[in-house]
Amino acid sequence: MRNLFFYGTLRHEALLETVLGDAGVAALRPAQLPGYRAYWADGHGFPFLTQEPGGQAIGLLAEGLSDDAIARLDFYEGGFGYGLHPVTVQTDHGPVAAQVWLVPDGTYDRGAPFDLDDWARCRAALNVRAAAEVMGLYGTRSAAEVARMYPMIEMRAQSWVMGRAEQVPDAPGGMTRADVDLIDSQTPYIDYFAVESQRLRFRKFSGDMGPEVHYASFVATDAALVLPYDPVRDRVMLVEQFRMGPQVRGDRVPWQLEPIAGRIDADETPEQTARREALEEAGLELRGLELISRAYPSPGCSNEYFHTYLGLADLPEDAAGVGGLLAESEDIRSHILSFDAAMGMADRGEIRVVPLLMALYWLARHRDRLRAGA
């Protein structure tokens, strides 16, 4: 049995319970670690400890942890460069020998001082959901593999949190999630994307609960899409890039014309993602955003959810070019087209990506208003 000092997010009860599972913890009590202070890892959603004369890291002392509990905790922490080190913490009953997770100097850049309440307001629900996916991989994947996948795990968690919180109109039939009886859920495939398989029953329009069914869904994330439009010049920007969906389908032309798009990072709003992606993919500063829709592109087989915008922008001839992030193997060519030319392509069936068609048709409906206000 061992003692561990928690100074960061594992002080949150729901997160700790998710990570420990049935292993549990014998006792938790307040403690402090002199000579250290906790800071956010800059650009990440977690803290780290740094030595600081006169500092004092506040936290919890977990006493009597089993080998299984330690193994689960080490799996959760280990892929991010953390290792256990012996320390002496101070409690109301005097000093106690314990261990704490530390990272080597220089592993992360130091951000602001860590505050658990700030983290809980912004990220607790997301991190608890992400931890459930991480711990579902315990015993089947290495901590290093989980760390590689973790950005997408966080984005999937962000999507789930947004889905639970979003205020949406009632279905015409009046049914909600309360009319679904979830029996079992499994994730037979998980990597950059995932597949979730559920056994469930749902209420029929007759009012009776239906039979047990076995359904599956491709699990992606929420994404922000933006069609740049210059109302003065009456032009749009479309982007062209290689796409895996047409490649797998056997399409003769895997390159597609699309709106600018990107997955919503864990600490972003859809609007922030739309602006970031416009810069990354096309070097474009957007003057404003108009919401087109928030919708599922294919709800029968995927949880993917699109926040689609029209982006007001200046689009001179030289705005087109090649962009994208090399780190993500992106190779994206942007095209400037007149509104009439883009709609002509839509009419001829030359645009084969539904969100782009939807955005163009929305623009056709609102174009006069946008041009009048330019």
Per DSSP, 252 falls in state S
Burial class (CB in 10 A: 0-12, 13-18, 19+), 226: buried
Quick one: pLDDT at residue 274? 98
Q: What is the mean pLDDT of each run of 10 residues along the chain (374 residues)?
A: 92 95 87 96 92 94 93 90 93 94 92 95 95 95 93 95 92 94 95 95 96 96 98 97 94 96 94 96 95 96 97 91 78 95 97 97 97 88
Quick one: pLDDT at residue 27? 85
Under 8 Å between Cβ of 254 and 354: no
3-state secondary structure 152-169: HHHHHHHHHHHHHHCCCC
Under 8 Å between Cβ of 317 and 336: yes
Note if the pTM is more than 0.85.
Answer: yes
Closest CA to 244 of 220, 275, 265, 224: 220
User: For residues 75 and 238, what is the distance between their CA atoms, to the nearest angstrom?
Assistant: 44
Annotated catalytic residues are 328
Tell me, rounded to whole angstroms, the distance of Cα 317 from its chain centroid.
35
Quick one: pLDDT at residue 308? 98
